[in-house]
A and B are shown apart, each in its own frame.
Chain A
Amino acid sequence: MTEYTPTQTDTVTKYVVVESFEVTPADLALRAYEISQGAMIKETCFGIVINGKKEGVDRIITELRKIDPDHIFVKDRGFPPGDARRCRANLGGARPGYNGMEHEMAIIPYVSHGLEKLKNHDEKTVPPPKNPLEHPLLDVYKLKKLIDAQEP
């Protein structure tokens, strides 16, 4: 086995994903370039990837979120942009994480809707979502009613 010497150490990489009718990945990239101050910006189909020192990347993201706060989403990425080990061109196909992102992209509009609504609503007044750990039993009286309702 050969020695591995990492590059771009002490940096962070983040995806900034946009799911909006008004803002495109290109708009996002343009704004990011303007304020990049040396951070690496790369446009992707979902948005952009930013690599740089943590403080710098955080600053850019804070600015970018302002463009369309309810439709811009951010997550960490392990690899710096364009890394050959994760590059589609080298792998012949998308890395598996891409399909996972595709899945969440279909759900994100509901999350955006939630974020928009909660701007004018106190979250405490919203009823809780269904709890996956609760498996409510059928009430015995309700069961009786159901049985009685059946035609003989």
Chain B
Amino acid sequence: MTLPVRIAQLSCGPEYSGIQHEIDTAARQVGGEVFYPDVALKDILRDFNMFGLDVRSPDLKLAIARAMALVDGRVEADAVFIATCFRCAEAAIVRNELRRYINEHSKLPVVSYSFTERTTSGTLLTRMEALTTIARRRALLARETQQGITLGLDSGSATTKAVVMKDNKIIGTGWQPTTEVLKSAQDVIAHALSEAGITRDEVQAVGTTGYGRFLVGKEIHADLIQEELTVNSKGAVYLANRQHGPATVIDIGGMDNKAITVMDGIPGVFTMGGICAGASGRFLEMTAKRLGVDITELGPLSMKGFGGRVPMNSYCIVFGTQSLVNALAAGSTREDVAAAACHSVAEQVFEQQLQEVDIKEPVIMVGGTSLIEGLVFAMGELLQTKIVVPPYSQYIGAVGSALLVSGFIKDD
């Protein structure tokens, strides 16, 4: 039996919010074990003063001391989970500073999360899985080239994607909106195989990722079923040819968004989520529909407009759509509305997620939304950097899966 991955918890509030059990459950489901780094009072007093962030809450002082014990190597761990109450300003400051501190001073993968009493183990599962993967599968994540013939499938919340790769090249792709999870998967696989001119039997290994990864993975006998945080970051640096050094990967998905800082292809800090669909690809889809254009035309349209001319609040998808309708009714041009929608999504991701990771260049945007050039442009403006969109960026999860699973090809 493999030993559980030791996840050090630095937190304030989960026991009193009734969700500690959810954290423990999520960790256990992916072979992890949550523990509290042991520190003595003298350590707390010394380390809290040394860290220099003068917070009032004793449990945050304790979290600071525990973080320092991890960085100093006084307590051993494989990964770190930082969790504090949503809407607590004091804790948010500590959460951010500890995440940054651990990332800068150790090789421990960190995920930070702000919870409410409604947080469930399901919400935490992908994050925990990524933590345990990074800790346990460093060798797998170090893979830089694809070998043999492999199939990668990304069963996402909005779309299902498949790629077939052979000898480090993409030779077939398949894409369609997710309807019935299994049927969509079978269809895109069939498309990718036919484009590649390869039969299912010739495929040497299969990997799945995305929301439907477990269901589809079981059905198609996948050799590797892996959450999308590690897979996408691996796929991103591979496709962008930035496998060495730092990078930041941004994936604005159909249901949630991911921001991941990567070092040598291995995720260091990542966040996942989105307060509302107003900050997701779904909102852009709705915008395109309202403007009467195909989603693929939204990008070029928005590049002709100026978002600043349209007041837009898409923190909520309902209010966002309302602003959009109001703007059109008030005579705004479709171009300006399209640009405003792109800017709004980019701004929300910037405000809500990119604050939880330290942006390191190059910034690589992936996922279907990275093809909407207005969104990429808006993100580049906000981050004041040129964003890299690699080829096949919409197939990122499938490519990452196909790449990683080539490590599972059995020698005959």
Direct contact, A vs B (beta carbon within 8 Å): yes
Which chain A residues have a beta carbon within 8 Å of chain B's beta carbons?
88, 91-96, 99-100, 102-103
Chain B interface, number of residues (Cβ within 8 angstroms): 15
Is A92 touching B37 in the complex (CB atoms < 8 A)? yes
Is B36 touching A91 in the complex (CB atoms < 8 A)? yes
Is A99 touching B44 in the complex (CB atoms < 8 A)? yes
A94 to B37, alpha carbons, bound, how many Å? Answer: 8
Is A93 touching B36 in the complex (CB atoms < 8 A)? yes
A102 to B8, alpha carbons, bound, how many Å? Answer: 22
- Rounded to whole Å, the gap between the CB of B17 and the closest CB of chain A is 15
- Rounded to whole Å, the gap between the CB of B217 and the closest CB of chain A is 27
- Rounded to whole Å, the gap between the CB of B354 and the closest CB of chain A is 32
Known contacts A92-B35, A99-B62; 5 additional CB pairs below 8 A are A93-B35, A93-B75, A94-B36, A99-B41, A99-B44
Is B38 touching A92 in the complex (CB atoms < 8 A)? yes
Is B41 touching A93 in the complex (CB atoms < 8 A)? no
B167 within 8 A of A: no
Counted as pairs of residues, one from A and one from B, with CB atoms less than 8 Å apart, the total is 31
Which chain B residues have a beta carbon within 8 Å of chain A's beta carbons?
6, 8, 35-41, 44, 58-59, 62, 66, 75
Cβ–Cβ < 8 Å partners of A100 in chain B: 58
A101's closest neighbor in chain B, by CB? B41
Cβ-neighbour of B37 out of A88, A93, A103 (below 8 A): A93
A6 to B35, alpha carbons, bound, how many Å? Answer: 24
Cβ–Cβ < 8 Å partners of B37 in chain A: 92-93
Q: B6, B41, B59 — which one has the most chain A CB atoms within 10 A of its CB?
A: B41
A91 to B15, alpha carbons, bound, how many Å? Answer: 13
Cβ-neighbour of B59 out of A88, A92, A94, A96 (below 8 A): A96
B9's closest neighbor in chain A, by CB? A92
Cβ–Cβ < 8 Å partners of B6 in chain A: 92
Is A93 touching B59 in the complex (CB atoms < 8 A)? no
A92 to B77, alpha carbons, bound, how many Å? Answer: 11
A1's closest neighbor in chain B, by CB? B21
A102 to B42, alpha carbons, bound, how many Å? Answer: 9
Cβ–Cβ < 8 Å partners of A99 in chain B: 39-41, 44, 62
A95's closest neighbor in chain B, by CB? B36
B69's closest neighbor in chain A, by CB? A93
A135 to B41, alpha carbons, bound, how many Å? Answer: 30
Is B36 touching A102 in the complex (CB atoms < 8 A)? no
A93 to B36, alpha carbons, bound, how many Å? Answer: 5
- Rounded to whole Å, the gap between the CB of A52 and the closest CB of chain B is 27
Is B44 touching A94 in the complex (CB atoms < 8 A)? no
With A96-B59, A96-B62 known to touch, is A102 a contact of B41 (CB < 8 Å)?
yes
- Rounded to whole Å, the gap between the CB of A4 and the closest CB of chain B is 10
A93 to B74, alpha carbons, bound, how many Å? Answer: 12
Is B40 touching A102 in the complex (CB atoms < 8 A)? yes
A96 to B58, alpha carbons, bound, how many Å? Answer: 9
A100 to B75, alpha carbons, bound, how many Å? Answer: 20
A96 to B44, alpha carbons, bound, how many Å? Answer: 11
Can you report 5 A-B residue pairs in the complex whose CB atoms are below 8 A from each other?
A93-B37, A94-B38, A95-B36, A96-B62, A102-B41
B41's closest neighbor in chain A, by CB? A102
- Rounded to whole Å, the gap between the CB of A109 and the closest CB of chain B is 16
A88's closest neighbor in chain B, by CB? B38
Q: A92, A94, A95, A103 — which one has the most chain B CB atoms within 10 A of its CB?
A: A92
Cβ–Cβ < 8 Å partners of A88 in chain B: 38
Cβ–Cβ < 8 Å partners of B62 in chain A: 96, 99
Cβ–Cβ < 8 Å partners of A94 in chain B: 36, 38
B33's closest neighbor in chain A, by CB? A92
Cβ–Cβ < 8 Å partners of B41 in chain A: 99, 102-103
- Rounded to whole Å, the gap between the CB of B37 and the closest CB of chain A is 6
A106's closest neighbor in chain B, by CB? B41
Is A93 touching B44 in the complex (CB atoms < 8 A)? no
A94 to B40, alpha carbons, bound, how many Å? Answer: 9
- Rounded to whole Å, the gap between the CB of A40 and the closest CB of chain B is 25
- Rounded to whole Å, the gap between the CB of B173 and the closest CB of chain A is 43
A74 to B8, alpha carbons, bound, how many Å? Answer: 32
Cβ–Cβ < 8 Å partners of A95 in chain B: 36
B6's closest neighbor in chain A, by CB? A92
Ranked 10 nearest A-B pairs via Cβ: A92-B35, A93-B38, A102-B41, A93-B36, A99-B41, A91-B36, A92-B36, A93-B37, A103-B41, A94-B38
- Rounded to whole Å, the gap between the CB of A11 and the closest CB of chain B is 22
Cβ–Cβ < 8 Å partners of A93 in chain B: 35-39, 66, 75
A93 to B6, alpha carbons, bound, how many Å? Answer: 13
A144 to B66, alpha carbons, bound, how many Å? Answer: 50
Cβ-neighbour of A91 out of B35, B44, B58, B75 (below 8 A): B35
A50 to B6, alpha carbons, bound, how many Å? Answer: 33
- Rounded to whole Å, the gap between the CB of B94 and the closest CB of chain A is 15
A90's closest neighbor in chain B, by CB? B35
Cβ–Cβ < 8 Å partners of B58 in chain A: 96, 100
Cβ–Cβ < 8 Å partners of B36 in chain A: 91-95
Cβ–Cβ < 8 Å partners of B8 in chain A: 92
A91's closest neighbor in chain B, by CB? B36
A92 to B8, alpha carbons, bound, how many Å? Answer: 9
A94 to B59, alpha carbons, bound, how many Å? Answer: 13
B36's closest neighbor in chain A, by CB? A93
A96 to B6, alpha carbons, bound, how many Å? Answer: 19
- Rounded to whole Å, the gap between the CB of B337 and the closest CB of chain A is 45
